[in-house]
Structure 1
Amino acid sequence: MLKKLVSCSLITLFMSSCVSQKREIIKLEGKSQGTTYHIIYMSKDGIRYKKQIDSLLTVVDNSMSTWVPNSIISRINNNEENVIVDNYFKTVFNKSFDVSNKTEGNFDITVGPLINSWGFGPTTNNALASTKVDSLIQLVDYKKVTLKNNVVIKENPSIKIDFNAIAQGYSVDVIADFFDKKKVRNYLVELGGEIIGKGKKNGEEWKVGIDQPNEKGVSEGQLEAIINLDNKALATSGNYRKYYVKGDQKFSHIIDPKTGYPAKHNLLSTTVIAKDGITADAYATAFMVMGLKKSKVFLEKNKKLNLEVFFIYDENGKWKTFTSQGLKKRLIELPKKL
């Protein structure tokens, strides 16, 4: 199963259950990739696609999950020879490389050894000594990994790839593509907090809510914003939900690939809306590493990416928000702050 490195459980779905005269609303839910999924779609024939979707997610796991011993990515990390990657792996690898280039390395799939050593992979929590960090960071550089003739080539055999910051976003794209091929035009897919919505529900655009966080995680039932999701994907990453404490130190799961340490700045969560889940997921993680100021500069310089963002950050002990111009048009409700 894929374990999500970024905390995307901030999303609250507004998925009412009702039946129209022409279409049945079908709701599916289950467990996959170390998390849960919720799907709602409008059906003319009443077909439930749960078995097919579970099978698709298993195929994705067998390609890209470091938690599956015989997955493609695990075999590559274990340096098996002549491992041929599938199209799922290839798509995510190429997208990762593209985002890494655009963010100047703030997104890096070779951060795996550090994530594992910090205790956010299939290991126990473990605060690292500086000498250990200095040693492991020598293995972190996405440019030292290439894909040639569907075979991954690593400059150093100790390099390990980790897709956990992008795979769940891609997984919702895989399900969306499945629905598109089945000619299901109206659906909302959520997996581990990553969401993609197409079409409408009973003539209205899909709506998703972003929970209001607090020091213990999120405030149940209290929303920071409600957003119209019109044929787009959404991903959220946060540094206050997934962490552990040792002694008097708090260690976040967001690892900065340039320092080797958990990212430290005042940005608490990033919500990104993009054309697809793989893009939204990758940039939500990259912005958490970059921090508020650098992320805003990046967005200004890269308007052609058409990314919309909603950031929650700490300013002198007070939590504030930054909303991109494009996303302001999608906000349909913003609860009053007490």
Structure 2
Amino acid sequence: MKNGKTILCKENCNFMIKILIQKILPFFFIFFISCYNEPINSLVVISGETQGTTYNIQYLIEDCKGCSDDQQKIYKTEIEKVLSLVDETFSLWNMHSDLTRINDGEKIKVNSMFKAVFSAAEEIYNETDGMYDCSIAPLTHYWGFTGDYEKLDNADTSEIYRRLMLVNYSKLKIIDDSIQLPDGMQLDYNSLVQGYSVDLISEIFLKNNVFNFLVEIGGEIRAYGKNIDGESWIVGIDKPNEKLDLKNRFQVLLSLDNMSLATSGNYRKFRELNGIKYSHTINPNTGYFANNKMLSATVIHESCMLADAYATAFMSMGIQESIAYCKNNQEVKSYFVYSDDKGNWKVYSSPNLKILE
């Protein structure tokens, strides 16, 4: 009987084990499968103020369910450090910035940021035959688009001509990592520094293997990867209206995939002289406001810095020259809003733009 009890016990035990296996294993199997589902993405948003405007950054973190705010915003400190260094280098409002000191006639040793922006500005200057010129500062100061200004009742032709003689980016060189401007010359990099800042922040994410993000500073944008819904990022181009209509704001929506976008326009920043509104874009060949039918120029490019610069250049060049340039340089994609001879809005867009109807 002892052996019989042993056999019975073993049989009962085996039976119980089978039951346990049947009931418990599926649970572990389900648990195992759930553990290896696709990672949970959390959307992190960082916003603030910089360069006289605002910034908005969105990025996705994998497997971050229950992350603390500090864990989610691990890049915020690095981003703020970069933006602070950009300000210390290029700000026209910071009396101690490198650019302010350079404009005051000092000879200073420049950092890698300054070299990158200097070279990009030189590239677009050459590409556009001088229609993009960052030595335009004496004229933008005169017309009151940087710093404080008094109301101009009449333009002083002789003063404009004097300042125009100071505009020539081809005269500038960085020698032994240092630069000193000729007497009277001044630089203004506002037309590409925001785009450059977007590129710098994008590089922070890429070097840390974050491949789903959108960076926006003052309307200049770089979008990479997918949004929280697993789709390409959607961005809007404002209508060229003087007043912002939030209910009917966008001229068009674009799908942006691993590209940058920058827009320049004359519709919200202008000077009034003798009752006539003039655009903030100065023609570096004449010293006066750009007088053409371009209302807004949007450029899509891999580099947000170059997109920013090209958008400004096209506002000076006008619609026909800008279209011709883009057709001959297909890496520079564009969306232009301009007026015809009757004042009606017209649109030109490069082929293959991902426009959403």
Matched-pair contact (CA < 8 Å) for 1:118–1:125: no
Question: How big is each residue's C-alpha offset from its partner over 1:288-332, in whole Å with a ceiling of 9 and x where there is no partner?
Answer: 0000011111122223xx0110000111121111111132xx102
1:217 is paired with a residue whose SS is coil
1:294 maps to what in 2? 321
Which one of the candidate residues 332, 336, 343 is aligned to 1:311? 336
Q: How does 1:220-259 map to 2 (within 5 A)?
A: 220-222=246-248, 223-259=250-286
1:58 corresponds to 2:87: no
1:169 corresponds to 2:187: no
Query: CA shift at 1:262, angstroms?
Result: 1.2
Q: How does 1:142-221 map to 2 (within 5 A)?
A: 142-154=169-181, 156-201=182-227, 202-214=229-241, 216-221=242-247
TM-score, length of structure 2 as denominator length: 0.83
Matched-pair contact (CA < 8 Å) for 1:120–1:253: yes
2:163 maps to what in 1? 136
- Which runs of at least 4 in structure 1 moved beyond 3 Å after TM superposition? 125-128
Matched-pair contact (CA < 8 Å) for 1:110–1:142: yes
TM-score, length of structure 1 as denominator length: 0.88
Query: CA shift at 1:257, angstroms?
Result: 0.7
- The CA distance in 1 between the partners of 2:247 and 2:261, in whole Å, is 20
Matched-pair contact (CA < 8 Å) for 1:117–1:126: no
1:11 maps to what in 2? none
* Percent identity of paired positions between Structure 1 and Structure 2: 38
RMSD: 1.4
1:109 is paired with a residue whose SS is coil
Structure 1: where are the runs of 5+ without partners?
1-19, 334-338
Give the AA of the match of 2:146.
Answer: G
Matched-pair contact (CA < 8 Å) for 1:211–1:220: no
1:101 corresponds to 2:119: no
- The CA distance in 1 between the partners of 2:272 and 2:168, in whole Å, is 28
1:41 maps to what in 2? 59
- The CA distance in 1 between the partners of 2:308 and 2:150, in whole Å, is 24
- The CA distance in 2 between the partners of 1:112 and 1:126, in whole Å, is 18
49-58 vs 97-106, which deviates more?
49-58
- The CA distance in 2 between the partners of 1:126 and 1:275, in whole Å, is 40
Greater fraction of residues in helix: 2
- The CA distance in 2 between the partners of 1:219 and 1:97, in whole Å, is 37
1:77 corresponds to 2:103: yes
Give the AA of the match of 1:251.
Answer: Y
2:26 maps to what in 1? none
1:263 corresponds to 2:281: no
Which one of the candidate residues 307, 310, 318 is aligned to 1:283? 310
Count of residues in correspondence between the two structures = 307
Greater fraction of residues in strand: 1
- The CA distance in 1 between the partners of 2:336 and 2:313, in whole Å, is 13
Matched-pair contact (CA < 8 Å) for 1:176–1:196: yes
Matched-pair contact (CA < 8 Å) for 1:211–1:219: no
2:146 maps to what in 1? 121
Query: CA shift at 1:21, angstroms?
Result: 6.0
1:14 maps to what in 2? none
RCO higher in 1 or 2 (8 Å CA, sep ≥ 6)?
1
Matched-pair contact (CA < 8 Å) for 1:239–1:253: yes
Matched-pair contact (CA < 8 Å) for 2:266–2:281: yes
1:15 maps to what in 2? none
2:174 is paired with a residue whose SS is strand
Go from structure 1 to structure 2 and tell me whether the alpha carbon gap of 1:139 and 1:133 turns closer, same or farther (over 3 Å shift): same
Give the AA of the match of 1:146.
Answer: K
Query: CA shift at 1:126, angstroms?
Result: 4.3
Structure 2: where are the runs of 5+ without partners?
1-37, 65-70
Which one of the candidate residues 55, 68, 72 is aligned to 2:94? 68
- The CA distance in 2 between the partners of 1:64 and 1:221, in whole Å, is 35
291-300 vs 96-105, which deviates more?
291-300
Answer with 1 or 2: which has the greater Rg.
2
